[in-house]
Every structure is written in C-alpha cells, then in structure tokens.
Structure 1
C-alpha cells in the first residue's frame, strides 16, 4: 500500500530563468526621473565676481593682434593690426578670422564688447571664434573710474 492516496512525489528542478520585469520597471522609472530633471540643469555656476583692476596683457611685438569689437547694437567690427573695418556679420567675422589664423596661427585674438551689449552676443562671438580655430581669446576692458 505504498502509493495509495498519495500523489507520487516529483522532484522540482531549479528554475533557470531570471525574471527581468522588475529591472525593466526600475529602468523606466530612472529614465523618467532623468528626463524630468535634465532640462532643469544649467551649464554655469552663479558667482559674484570681485571688482578689481587687472594687469595688462603682455603682447609680443612680432605677433599681430586681431581685435573683434561688438558695439551696443550688436554689430561686429574686425581690426587686424592698425586696420579697422566696417560693420560685419558674425559669419563674415568667422570667415575672416579663420583665413587669418590659417596663415598666422600664433595671432592673438582679443574681444572688445560694449558695456551695454547683450551677454549672449559676446558669448556667440567667442564660440564662433573658437570654431574658426582660435585657441584662446582675451577680453579687453577699461580701467574702473577711481573717482567717486
């Protein structure tokens, strides 16, 4: 009477599959979190800059400087050495600077921005100069008025 009334005992083999559904759920939650928070990130840090004077930049006599000026209306002017120019578009300035740097790679590039010009205009100019091949750009400023 060995097996009467009882079910034969079956051995269960271990399950060799991994249930990945919980991992997919976690991944989707993280994806949503990153999609929501990514636009909130900024590319800069808010700082309060000190007011101080700076030492002048030492220029080599044999290196010709390129000065790009931006007036209060956002017009660009390219000055190479002592030669000034007419108002230009940003694309024209970029093309001219790229041509000059292809011939004289060691030229210094300086940016002179009007006090009342929008900050974004100067940043776009500096990005365009970098795209034209400028490895470094200096900013020209005026000395602060010491008379109160």
Structure 2
C-alpha cells in the first residue's frame, strides 16, 4: 500500500510544478502623493434659524443641492462638514440641516461650539 502511494506522489509531483502564464498589471514605481484635505464646510445655525455657509447666509432650501454639488466636485476627497448650532436654535431647523447633509451623502459631520 505504501509503495502505491509513493508511486502516485512521484507521478503527480511534476504536474504540480506547472506554471500558468498570467498577464498581471505592472506596479507603478512612482509614489503616489495623497491629496491635501479640502477645506471643511462650516455651517452655522443661529438662534433665529438663519443658516450660514462659511459665514455667508444661505437659505435652508438651498443647502441640500449645494452640499450635493460640493460632494460631487470633491469625489473621493470629500470635505468635512462642521456644524455650529446655537444652543437656542430651533430643533426643527437643526433636523433639516442634518437631513440635508444625509441626503447629500455627506460622510463626515462634526459639531463645533
């Protein structure tokens, strides 16, 4: 029995060393430089419900399209969105800001004071 196994291994061993020709992509020797992080988008919601985009007043209804445009332009290097909401701001307005960010596929949202 052992002799049979030995013969099988001797016969099959050369078959296992066959190579398969593959056309693999070549590695680029140049190091890739990471893209610099984009400037964050600063959103401020004051006590009266007024929204500001980087210190410029912005109507709430224009927030989602503008965020979608910013995310589309940035591609894989999307900017952070930082929200500074007044403690006296209306909850409904804040919920609309967060919903607009979610619907615009914003990946990183931070809250600042």
Q: TM-score, normalised by structure 2?
A: 0.61
Listed as ranges, the matches of 1:57-136 within 5 Å are 62-79=37-54, 84-85=55-56, 87-105=57-75, 106-136=78-108
Equivalent residue, structure 2, for 1:28: none
| Greater relative CO (CA pairs within 8 A, separation 6+) | 2
8 Å CA contact 2:44–2:53 kept in 1: the answer is yes
Following TM superposition, where does structure 1 have runs of at least 4 consecutive aligned residues deviating by more than 2 angstroms? none
Alpha-carbon distance, 1:68 to partner: 1.0
Instruction: Give secondary structure in 1 for the equivalent of 2:64.
Output: helix
Contact 2:81 2:109 in 1 (8 A): yes
Instruction: Indicate the structure (1 or 2) with the bigger Cα radius of gyration.
Output: 1
Unaligned residue ranges in structure 1 (runs of 5+): 1-60, 142-148
Shift of 1:63: 2.4
TM-score by length of 1: 0.47
Aligned partners of 1:91 and 1:118: how far apart in 2?
16
RMSD: 1.8
Residue 87 of structure 2: SS of its match in structure 1?
coil
Count of residues paired in the alignment: 77
